[in-house]
Amino acid sequence: MFTEDDARRRDAADPGHRDLFHIPPATGGDHPDVAYFAGNSLGLQPKATRAELLDDLDDWARLGVEGHLEAGRPWLPYHEFLTDTAARLVGALPSEAVVMNSLTVNLHLLMVSFYRPAGDRTRIVIEDSAFPSDSYAVRSQAAFHGLDPDRTVIRLRPRPGEDTLRTADVVDYLHTEGDRVALVLLGGVNYLTGELLDIPTITAAGRAAGAIVGWDLAHAAGNVPLRLHDWGVDFAAWCSYKYLNSGPGALAGAYVHERHHGDPTLARFEGWWSTEPATRFEMTPVSRPPASVDAWQISNPPIFAMGPVRTSLQIFDKVGMPALRDRSERLTGYLEQLLDETLSGRPVGVVTPRDPARRGCQLSLRVGGGAGAQALTARLRHEHGVIADAREPDIVRLAPVPLYSTYHDCWRAARALAATLPAEGGDDV
């Protein structure tokens, strides 16, 4: 039996880094702060963000245009202050990672270069439960090339009666149909189920089939360890407002493997920031792109949007993904045990893989009994001070984030779900 005292003891022995973050106050329940499980939609604000953002604002007030060169963190090379930490986070070389734009914009810019349908090799492979914006993006890319999206975009589905993709099934498809596949673009961690796909195995299978392999890492960056360079991933993109805690709509990241740098055969859109920094102010009409991922940049970076990303990346760099992954497995496993014990006999089941190696810090619950995902998460928040998020019609997602979630948060969430979901027979507890 898991008790509140047991949860408190676990927190004392395994405290995480909650003190670095602002925890919102609860509007319901018996606790002053919320138990926050929506980190897979929007991470909490680091306490350091405000002061560092104000430093950048003060430099603007104090220096005006001279801040480009004389600010405490000069604006002209500002994006370079994020390069090393972003690269370490995703397992890339410094020349392979850049912070820029938003996620879907980056995917489109990268697909300009890496989706090159020709002859019979036209297909784009995604997962059937891909986030809608990925579906929209690849369908629009197919249409842009004059292809029928319904025939070009291949949506891989789990086996009947299952919720998650099997790596073997993805590999088998690429083995048998790979000569027709131009691009594989999958989510590293599926937003709906929390499944961590086998990135290195699928990447190897896709490249062996002659396809380009890209990854949407929106739910993977800052959640699971990544080694994009070593795995041979062609390109990737990620957002930074979820597990990376950089604020709503924060700047995203992009990665391009070094084997593609300086390739003159790659089409690419260019702009002010696509050219070599040393020659940028020669104001010549022809770009001189560097042999790095920086060549995929277009516009100068928004400084006040970059500051919060830099602040967050420094936290990840200091704590380290291996330590966060270890705590993630402990915390998510504890929540899983609590749910198994507390919700027995209720119309709810975990659709996230049970194997810790096949998931990030997320458990997705399919709720029955007519509860409704949105209505259930509203009750959790207003009656119990537990913030989760819903994906209609019947999925409730809980993300015990290792940086700031606690074992006591997990205990609260399990008790709140037990009190809110109807028991066998349909009566509330």
Q: How far is CA 426 from CA 369, 370, 372, 374, 396, in A?
A: 7, 9, 14, 18, 19
What is d(CA 355, CA 166) in angstroms, rounded to the nearest whole number?
A: 13
What is d(CA 307, CA 250) in angstroms, rounded to the nearest whole number?
A: 10
Q: What is the pLDDT of residue 107?
A: 98
Q: Is 16 helix (H, G, I), strand (E, B) or coil?
A: coil
DSSP summary character for residue 27: S
Span 24-64, pLDDT tens digits: 999 887 899 999 999 999 999 999 999 999 999 999 999 99
What is d(CA 133, CA 162) in angstroms, rounded to the nearest whole number?
A: 24
What is d(CA 328, CA 266) in angstroms, rounded to the nearest whole number?
A: 39
Q: What is the pLDDT of residue 422?
A: 79
Angle between helices 321-342 and 303-319 (to 10 degrees): 80
Q: What is the pLDDT of residue 424?
A: 60
Q: Based on DSSP, count helices (H) and strands (E) in the chain, helices before strands.
A: 14, 13
Span 185-232, pLDDT tens digits: 999 999 999 999 999 999 999 999 999 999 999 999 999 999 999 999
Are 27 and 385 in contact by the 8 Å Cβ rule? The answer is yes
At residue 240, what is the residue type?
Answer: S
What is d(CA 429, CA 423) in angstroms, rounded to the nearest whole number?
A: 6
CA contacts within 13 A on the Cβ side of 89? 34
Hey, what are 382's tokens?
């207003």
Q: Regarding the domain delimited by 77-318, which CATH topology (the fold level of the hierarchy) does it fall under?
A: Aspartate Aminotransferase; domain 2 (3.40.640)
> Looking at the chain, which residues constitute the CATH 3.40.640.10 domain(s)?
77-318
DSSP summary character for residue 343: S
> Looking at the chain, which residues constitute the CATH 3.90.1150.10 domain(s)?
4-46+320-420
Closest listed residue to residue 125, CA positions, set 174, 168, 191: 174
Find where tokens 């709720």 sit. Answer: 367
Instruction: Write the CB contacts of 81 (distance below 8 Å, at least 6 apart in sequence).
Output: 73, 306, 310
Strands (E), 336-376: 348-350, 363-367
Pairing, β 395-398 against β 389-391:
antiparallel
The pair phi, psi for residue 345, each rounded to 5°, is: 85, 0
For the chain, list residues with pLDDT below 70: 1, 424-429
CATH superfamily membership of 4-46+320-420: Aspartate Aminotransferase, domain 1 (3.90.1150.10)
Are 38 and 399 in contact by the 8 Å Cβ rule? The answer is yes
Predicted model pTM? 0.96
Q: What is the pLDDT of residue 315?
A: 98
Are 417 and 380 in contact by the 8 Å Cβ rule? The answer is yes
What is d(CA 155, CA 159) in angstroms, rounded to the nearest whole number?
A: 13
Q: What is the pLDDT of residue 405?
A: 98
